[in-house]
Amino acid sequence: MKKYTLLYSAVVALALVSCDYNEDNFDGFEDFGKPTDIKKGNITFTDWASLKGNPKTNQYFSAADEAQDYLPNWLAGQYPSADEGSSFKITFDYKEEKSEKHDKYYNIDYYKLKDDDYKIIHGKGYYGAYLNKSTTSKLYKVLNEVFPDAKEGSHVFAEYNYNADAIPQKMDDPVFSYDFESLETGDVTSIKDWYISATGGAKWSLKSYNDNQYISYSANGKGACEAWLVTPSVEIEDENNKFAFEVCVGYWNADCLSVLISTDFDGKDVSKAKWTDITSSFDIPQEPSKGYGTLALAGTFNLTDYVGKNVNIAFKYVGNGDDEKSTTYQLDNITIGNDIPVLVKSEPQYAFYEKSAKGWNVVNDEDVFVLTPDDYTAMGEPGKNFNFSSSVLAEDYLPAYLAKKVAYPLNDAEKIIVYKYYSGSVKAYSDSYIYSTANARWGKNTYMTTKTEQYVKTSGKWNYDPSVVVNLPNGKDQADISVYYQAIVDWVWENIDQKELGISKKGDGYTTTYASPTGSEYYFGATAYQNNIDLRPAKFREQYAKGYEGMDDAKITETVMARLPKAFIPALEKNHADAVPVEGIDVTYTVNFVIYDGSSNVNWTAVYKVVGNGKFEYVEDSMKKVE
């Protein structure tokens, strides 16, 4: 988690307080009629439970839920008796906006091609639930159909089956086909238009392996079980219609599965229907006894005898885990049609597309990595299902992945990784990763940081007040003060001596030969040695007589005082580069400094307004002596 201070920068050993309270900034300042219950301090905010809405749940503020909308009421509840002028600087957790690069690739639609989608590419009358090496370039046709209203800049993570050399099969469309891909994994108690039942404790379960979903049943670990999985009613209109399915067997110890057909099932009570056993028409393996076999076509059953009738086909499981009758059966791709698709072994592939004015194009960005199935496999655990999840965290694997992918990354280099994530269903996510040379490691960009904001009680209410007071007490050996005066000295050397006068050697112009951090200049009179403004006319003549030729002491003083309001602008811009303007609020930086006139140190103050990111402008007539 990185940490920074927004709108005011805490300078080590400086007291930064509201500009209304000069009594805290200068010795001897008195504020008569001062309230008695002034509350001040620094707070690290942790009381999220007392808030409402997103901050209470998230335990952080963000651009959508700014602290200014919550903390004033919180302060009012915590300090109801606080007097006017009370102020607190509150530090809290804050989630930043996504980087520009990450934001571009953040909202991604995930789409896995369905069987019918492949026909858009192969053409009418051809079947092949896969793409080959000559058709992957036509995937955009599917996206045009599926996302017709996609706006320019939209992104889609497309998943499809791939076999480089397979040729689509010319065939009629199936009368009925089901592949279980539209369901969510877990126990299955119902599928629209199907009949599902299970007794004995075990349930039908939808599982996924190698990026393919299937339905499974086993009596393992249970007693006596009976389960039914019955297709919707299908009308057989062609004598060439056949029935087929794919099966995988695991831990075979008994024949527990039978395949039945009925013409009078009412969809509600399997016991009232007449069922014909057609199991012998299929080759259902009786192996392996340990582990799992391979999902394969079990054969076909000709439906010629059922033309003109409506049929339901059932898978019936009868087993007993206590009696070693607990074989696992995995079923998939249940089909009725004239042509049963030839089983073609394919593998999952992914493509990442962006919608442009000319259409869908594959994202080709050197800073974007799309994980492949091989990438997941190489990672180990993520390769089981080719995705990450709440139990298999992406951030545990992606730093090592990037370390292998990116040679010689620069500090703060950013890469976007697009990957699959499972949380009840598969989604496409993207994460931003940043490289740290200090840690020699890639780290996930969580966008979590800390902010510190100032709140002041005025007009009876607590208000967000981003204004800052910078106190610059004089005196030697104050490195945190010297950085302000040295910034002025450096600016005079670079912009007046070198640029305007063309001087190439320090000491020949307004700037002394003293090296940083104790330099001095006699254009404004800033000295990083004494940490004040030296306003002795003799010192100005001594340093650069040409610049003050013909001027008496009064004229030198008048000239320098006219310049002085601009002196602290380069000091603020260098030391408060994080200052930003806030819409609707005048963000000011009040600089309290000391002028030495030859006889005494006199306290002065000047106010500067933030007019841009790290940019300041002097507020006219604000530079005054503190009486």
Confidence of residue 2 (pLDDT cuts 50, 70, 90): very low
CATH code at position 230: 2.60.120.200
Per-residue pLDDT at 459 exceeds 90: no
- 204 vs 3, higher pLDDT: 204
Question: In 3D, which of 164, 159, 253 has the Cα closest to residue 208?
Answer: 159
Task: Give pLDDT, residue 29.
Answer: 40
Least confident range of 332-346, 376-390, 589-603: 332-346
Task: Give pLDDT, residue 324.
Answer: 94
- C-alpha angle with apex 433: 429 to 436, nearest 5 degrees? 170
Mean pLDDT for the stretch of residues 200-216:
91
Query: Considering 405, 435, 469, which residue would you say is the last residue of a domain?
Result: 469
Question: What is the secondary structure of 534-598 as a DSSP string?
Answer: E--HHHHHHH-GGGGTT--HHHHHHHHHHHGGGTHHHHHHHH-TT---BTTB--EEEEEEEEE-S
| Structural domain includes residue 133 | no
Q: Residues for the chain: how many in total?
A: 627
Query: Considering 469, 502, 527, which residue would you say is the last residue of a domain?
Result: 469
Is 281 in the same domain as 328?
yes
Is 465 in the same domain as 563?
no
| Structural domain includes residue 144 | no
Task: Give pLDDT, residue 173.
Answer: 82
Answer yes or no: pTM beyond 0.75. Answer: no
CA atoms within 13 A on the CB side of 48: 15
Structural domain containing residue 455: 2-96+449-469
Task: Give pLDDT, residue 212.
Answer: 85
Give the integer Cα–Cα distance in Å for 522 and 557. Answer: 11
Per-residue pLDDT at 475 exceeds 60: yes
b/e for 230-251, b at 16 or more Cβ within 10 A? bbebbebeeeebbbbbbbbbbe
Give the integer Cα–Cα distance in Å for 530 and 527. Answer: 6
Task: Give pLDDT, residue 35.
Answer: 52
Question: Position 59: which residue type?
Answer: Q
Question: Quick count: other Cβ atoms within 10 Å of Cβ 591?
Answer: 24
Per-residue pLDDT at 485 exceeds 60: yes
DSSP H or E segment with residue 115: helix 115-122
Give the integer Cα–Cα distance in Å for 443 and 125. Answer: 50
Query: Considering 337, 365, 396, which residue would you say is the last residue of a domain?
Result: 337
How many separate domains does the chain show? 3
Per-residue pLDDT at 3 exceeds 60: no
Confidence of residue 181 (pLDDT cuts 50, 70, 90): confident
Is 221 in the same domain as 296?
yes
Q: What are phi and psi of 160, to 5 degrees?
A: -145, 160
- Tell me the torsion sign for CA atoms 495, 499, 500, 506: positive
Task: Give pLDDT, residue 473.
Answer: 95
Mean pLDDT of the chain: 92
| Structural domain includes residue 350 | no
Per-residue pLDDT at 293 exceeds 90: yes
| Structural domain includes residue 428 | no
Per-residue pLDDT at 6 exceeds 80: no
| Structural domain includes residue 497 | yes
Q: What are the tens digits of pLDDT across the range 512-557?
A: 998 777 899 999 999 999 999 999 999 999 999 999 999 999 999 9
Is 604 in the same domain as 517?
yes
Is 575 in the same domain as 460?
no
Least confident range of 31-40, 474-483, 536-545, 598-607: 31-40
Task: Give pLDDT, residue 93.
Answer: 97
Per-residue pLDDT at 36 exceeds 50: yes
For the chain, the C-alpha Rg in angstroms (whole number) is 38
Question: Quick count: other Cβ atoms within 10 Å of Cβ 457?
Answer: 24
| Structural domain includes residue 401 | no
Is 481 in the same domain as 455?
no
Is 14 in the same domain as 87?
yes
Mean pLDDT for the stretch of residues 48-57:
97
**CB contact at 8 A, 346 and 181:** no
Task: Give pLDDT, residue 210.
Answer: 75
Mean pLDDT for the stretch of residues 200-205:
95
Question: Position 224: which residue type?
Answer: A
Is 454 in the same domain as 518?
no
Least confident range of 48-52, 102-106, 159-163, 169-173: 169-173
Is 77 in the same domain as 202?
no
Mean pLDDT for the stretch of residues 153-174:
93
Is 186 in the same domain as 301?
yes
Is 506 in the same domain as 606?
yes
Give the integer Cα–Cα distance in Å for 175 and 417. Answer: 41
Q: What are the tens digits of pLDDT across the range 81-140?
A: 999 889 999 999 999 999 999 999 999 999 999 988 999 999 988 888 999 999 999 999
Is 461 in the same domain as 479?
no
Q: Above pLDDT 90, what percent of the chain?
A: 84
- Residue 486: left (phi > 0), alpha (psi -120 to 50), or beta? alpha
DSSP H or E segment with residue 608: strand 601-612
Confidence of residue 37 (pLDDT cuts 50, 70, 90): confident
How far does the chain reach from its first CA to its final CA, in angstroms?
45
Question: What is the secondary structure of 126-172 as a DSSP string?
Answer: EE-SSB-TTTGGGHHHHHHHH-TTPPTT-EEEEEEEE-TT--PEE-P
